[in-house]
Amino acid sequence: MFRAMKKVVVVTGASSGIGLALCERLLSEDDGLHLCLACRNLGKAEAARVALLSSHPRAEITLLQIDVSNLQSVFQASRELKQRFEHLDYLYVNAGIMPNPQLNLKALFSGLFSRKVFHMFSTAEGLLTQDDRVTTDGLQEVFETNVFGHFILIRELEPLLCHPDIPSQVIWTSSSNAKKSNFSLDDFQHAKGHEPYSSSKYATDLLSLALNRNFNQQGLYSSVVCPGTVLTNLTYGILPPFIWTLLTPLIFLLRFFVNSLTTTPYNGAEALLWLFRQKPEFLNPLTKYHSATTGLGSNYVSPQKMDLDEETAEKFYQNLLDLERRFGAIRARSLDSPSQK
């Protein structure tokens, strides 16, 4: 087991995109920390580890296999972390999916020639719908991947995160696309809707607020971040390559007017890194921290108040606790299975 001699940071979805850029920036900030890459694909995770070590050869980087869309995997990974560590300083819950995104071309082109063009590129509001599916756990895939799998991970890691004398931070990669209008307590998995990604990100904002209410006194603090509009594998899948080629000059021009167009994973990780430097007890739980980039390429953090209320957040949290009880058998089986090597 690793002793709490150095900061321990776990990042889910660390093998590419914003997660990998965050890891690079964290090591540039403090290469004395212990960085754990928690990824579904260990091959990609090992490639990321090699790349990080090439620029930070003294860094201590370990791997953990976890698929947050599969609860048995989450329970097994949680057990492994509890065997390795006594305390976690930072848990970046970054892994997420936007499956089969479909672009509303009519909304795109009408928005391009309207006064809403800046808002459209800032939030993608009304532009994207997704086809969701059900996982082997019987849950909506976007909800389980983006919200519930991470919720279970946090619940299982409470012994490592809850130390009143040593604060821990849980930091969520949320989105400006987290819209209250797309979320319902009566359908919090968004099984009946067509914007599960937006719903899931609003759900993470609610959950973060509830975690602060329930765990701040135990030393666990939660924050949410919007990385801005970043061109990653997730966003490149929305449009054919030739469309991106046509849009790229426009995107860089719009950066002079829309600072949420961070475009690169490095820029998108700005707010995630900024939170690494903060004392969590002084952060506002109703604030979302947005990565922003000026037209000339300078990065900064823009705090913005979220459209949340504590009553809804607490009700959602209790709904998740009720849902958690359904999976006690899976948890029990994971405790009986061999641990990762």
From residue 4, alpha-carbon distances to 53, 242, 280 in Å are 22, 50, 19
Residue 312, pLDDT > 60, answer: yes
Q: In angstroms, rounded to a whole number, what is the distance separating the alpha carbons of residues 79 and 155?
A: 12
**pLDDT the model gives residue 340:** 54
pLDDT tens, position by position, 188-236: 999 999 899 999 999 999 999 999 999 999 999 999 999 988 776 666 6
What residues pair up with 304 in beta bridges, in sequence order? 288
Residue 183 pLDDT exceeds 90: yes
Of the pLDDT bands very low, low, confident and very high (cuts 50, 70, 90), residue 106 is low
Q: Residue 242 contacts by C-beta under 8 Å, 6 or more apart in sequence?
A: none
What residues act catalytically?
Answer: 197
228: left (phi > 0), else alpha (psi -120 to 50), else beta? Answer: left
235-253: average pLDDT: 67
Is the pLDDT confidence value at 341 over 50?
no
Q: Give the residue extent of every domain in the chain.
A: 8-100+137-231+265-291+300-336
Residue 165: is its pLDDT beyond 70? yes
Long-range residue pairs from 213-219, CB within 8 A, at least 24 positions apart, any chain: 213/285, 213/310, 213/313, 213/314, 214/317, 215/158, 215/161, 215/162, 216/281, 217/164, 218/162, 218/163, 218/164, 219/161, 219/162, 219/163, 219/164, 219/165, 219/166, 219/167, 219/168
Q: How many residues does the chain have?
A: 341
- pLDDT, position 113: 54
pLDDT at 3: 45
Cα separation, 270 vs 279, whole angstroms: 17
Burial status of residue 328 (CB atoms within 10 A of its CB: 0-12, 13-18, 19 or more): exposed
Interstrand relation of 287-293 and 299-305 (parallel, antiparallel or unpaired):
antiparallel
Q: What is the pLDDT of residues 46-105, one digit of tens each?
A: 999 999 999 999 999 999 999 999 999 999 999 999 999 999 999 999 999 877 655 555
For residue 25, the SS3 value is: helix
Structure tokens at 283: 């952060």
Tokens found for residue 1: 């087991």
DSSP 110-131: HHHTSTTHHHHHHH-TTTEEE-
Q: Which residues contact 114 (CB under 8 A, 6 or more apart)?
A: none
Q: Which residues face 8 on adjacent strands?
A: 34
Which CATH entry fits the domain spanning 8-100+137-231+265-291+300-336: 3.40.640.10, 3.30.565.10, 3.40.50.720, 3.40.50.2300?
3.40.50.720
Pairing of strands 128-130, 101-103: antiparallel
pLDDT at 89: 98
pLDDT, average across residues 225-251: 72
18: which strand partners? none
What is the percentage of the chain residues whose pLDDT exceeds 70? 82
What was the pLDDT predicted at 277? Answer: 97
37: amino acid identity, one letter: L
The tokens describing 317, both together, are: 């949290």
Q: What is the pLDDT of residue 235?
A: 64
Q: Write out pLDDT tens, residues 319-340.
A: 999 999 999 888 888 777 666 5
Res 316 pLDDT > 80: yes
